[in-house]
Amino acid sequence: MVDNKSTTDEEMHRVEAIVSTLLRIGVLLSAAIILIGLLLLMFTGTSGYPGTTYPTTLTAIFDGIAQFKPYAIVMFGLFCLILTPVLRVLVSFVTFLKEKDYLYVAITAIVLIILTISFLIGTTG
Protein backbone atom coordinates (compact mmCIF):
# COMPACT_ATOMS: atom_id res chain seq x y z
CA MET A 1 0.00 0.00 0.00
CA VAL A 2 1.37 3.41 -0.99
CA ASP A 3 1.25 6.14 1.62
CA ASN A 4 -0.31 9.24 0.00
CA LYS A 5 1.26 11.57 2.58
CA SER A 6 4.80 10.39 1.84
CA THR A 7 4.15 10.65 -1.91
CA THR A 8 2.86 14.22 -1.45
CA ASP A 9 5.83 15.09 0.77
CA GLU A 10 8.25 13.72 -1.83
CA GLU A 11 6.48 15.69 -4.58
CA MET A 12 6.60 18.91 -2.53
CA HIS A 13 10.28 18.37 -1.75
CA ARG A 14 10.97 17.91 -5.48
CA VAL A 15 9.01 21.07 -6.34
CA GLU A 16 10.83 23.06 -3.65
CA ALA A 17 14.15 21.87 -5.08
CA ILE A 18 13.09 22.93 -8.60
CA VAL A 19 11.93 26.34 -7.38
CA SER A 20 15.12 26.84 -5.39
CA THR A 21 17.22 25.95 -8.43
CA LEU A 22 15.13 28.23 -10.65
CA LEU A 23 15.60 31.19 -8.29
CA ARG A 24 19.32 30.54 -7.94
CA ILE A 25 19.85 30.27 -11.70
CA GLY A 26 17.72 33.36 -12.32
CA VAL A 27 19.70 35.50 -9.90
CA LEU A 28 23.09 34.25 -11.11
CA LEU A 29 22.14 34.66 -14.77
CA SER A 30 20.84 38.18 -14.10
CA ALA A 31 23.99 39.12 -12.22
CA ALA A 32 26.18 37.76 -15.05
CA ILE A 33 24.24 39.72 -17.69
CA ILE A 34 24.39 42.93 -15.65
CA LEU A 35 28.12 42.40 -15.07
CA ILE A 36 28.70 41.96 -18.82
CA GLY A 37 26.82 45.21 -19.46
CA LEU A 38 28.80 47.05 -16.79
CA LEU A 39 32.12 45.74 -18.09
CA LEU A 40 31.16 46.77 -21.62
CA LEU A 41 30.20 50.20 -20.29
CA MET A 42 33.53 50.47 -18.50
CA PHE A 43 35.63 49.39 -21.49
CA THR A 44 33.79 51.40 -24.15
CA GLY A 45 33.20 54.45 -21.99
CA THR A 46 29.75 54.96 -23.50
CA SER A 47 26.28 53.76 -22.66
CA GLY A 48 25.34 53.45 -26.31
CA TYR A 49 22.61 56.08 -25.87
CA PRO A 50 22.75 59.89 -26.06
CA GLY A 51 22.77 61.90 -22.84
CA THR A 52 20.88 60.37 -19.96
CA THR A 53 18.52 58.25 -22.07
CA TYR A 54 18.23 54.50 -21.81
CA PRO A 55 15.96 51.78 -23.22
CA THR A 56 12.64 51.38 -21.43
CA THR A 57 10.74 48.91 -23.62
CA LEU A 58 11.53 45.29 -24.42
CA THR A 59 11.79 46.16 -28.11
CA ALA A 60 14.32 48.91 -27.37
CA ILE A 61 16.24 46.60 -25.03
CA PHE A 62 16.47 43.82 -27.62
CA ASP A 63 17.44 46.29 -30.35
CA GLY A 64 20.15 47.63 -28.04
CA ILE A 65 21.42 44.14 -27.25
CA ALA A 66 21.72 43.41 -30.98
CA GLN A 67 23.93 46.51 -31.22
CA PHE A 68 25.93 45.64 -28.05
CA LYS A 69 24.81 48.77 -26.19
CA PRO A 70 25.88 48.48 -22.54
CA TYR A 71 22.75 50.07 -21.02
CA ALA A 72 20.52 47.70 -22.99
CA ILE A 73 22.47 44.71 -21.67
CA VAL A 74 22.19 45.99 -18.09
CA MET A 75 18.46 46.59 -18.56
CA PHE A 76 18.03 43.05 -19.90
CA GLY A 77 19.79 41.72 -16.80
CA LEU A 78 17.38 43.70 -14.63
CA PHE A 79 14.44 42.37 -16.67
CA CYS A 80 15.67 38.81 -16.05
CA LEU A 81 15.97 39.58 -12.34
CA ILE A 82 12.37 40.84 -12.26
CA LEU A 83 11.19 37.84 -14.28
CA THR A 84 12.73 35.31 -11.86
CA PRO A 85 10.11 35.51 -9.07
CA VAL A 86 7.35 35.67 -11.69
CA LEU A 87 8.57 32.32 -13.03
CA ARG A 88 8.52 31.02 -9.47
CA VAL A 89 4.83 31.97 -9.17
CA LEU A 90 4.13 30.33 -12.53
CA VAL A 91 5.86 27.09 -11.45
CA SER A 92 3.83 27.14 -8.23
CA PHE A 93 0.62 27.62 -10.22
CA VAL A 94 1.37 24.61 -12.43
CA THR A 95 2.39 22.51 -9.43
CA PHE A 96 -0.78 23.29 -7.48
CA LEU A 97 -2.86 22.61 -10.57
CA LYS A 98 -1.14 19.25 -11.03
CA GLU A 99 -1.79 18.39 -7.36
CA LYS A 100 -5.43 19.50 -7.70
CA ASP A 101 -5.02 21.88 -4.76
CA TYR A 102 -7.57 24.34 -6.09
CA LEU A 103 -7.43 26.79 -3.18
CA TYR A 104 -3.75 27.43 -3.89
CA VAL A 105 -4.40 27.40 -7.64
CA ALA A 106 -6.86 30.26 -7.09
CA ILE A 107 -4.49 32.18 -4.81
CA THR A 108 -1.58 31.77 -7.22
CA ALA A 109 -3.77 32.76 -10.17
CA ILE A 110 -4.71 35.96 -8.32
CA VAL A 111 -1.03 36.70 -7.72
CA LEU A 112 -0.28 36.12 -11.42
CA ILE A 113 -3.13 38.44 -12.41
CA ILE A 114 -1.86 41.14 -10.05
CA LEU A 115 1.67 40.78 -11.45
CA THR A 116 0.36 41.00 -15.01
CA ILE A 117 -1.70 44.10 -14.23
CA SER A 118 1.29 45.75 -12.54
CA PHE A 119 3.47 45.07 -15.59
CA LEU A 120 0.81 46.48 -17.91
CA ILE A 121 0.40 49.58 -15.75
CA GLY A 122 4.17 49.97 -15.67
CA THR A 123 4.48 49.85 -19.45
CA THR A 124 1.60 52.25 -20.15
CA GLY A 125 2.50 54.76 -17.48
Nearest to 40, CA basis, from 4, 61, 67: 67
pLDDT of residue 34: 97
| Confidence (pTM) | 0.78
The residue count of the chain comes to: 125
| DSSP assignment string, 39-102 | HHHHHH---SSSTT----SHHHHHHHHHTT-HHHHHHHHHHHHHHHHHHHHHHHHHHHHHTT-H
Look at residue 5 and tell me whether its pLDDT is greater than 70: no
Q: What is the pLDDT confidence band of residue 110, given thresholds at 50, 70 and 90?
A: very high
DSSP secondary structure letter of residue 104 = H
Q: Give the number of other CB atoms < 10 A from CB of residue 83.
A: 14
Look at residue 97 and tell me whether its pLDDT is greater than 60: yes
pLDDT tens, position by position, 41-96: 999 988 888 888 888 888 999 999 999 999 999 999 999 998 888 888 998 898 88
Q: What is the pLDDT confidence band of residue 38, given thresholds at 50, 70 and 90?
A: very high
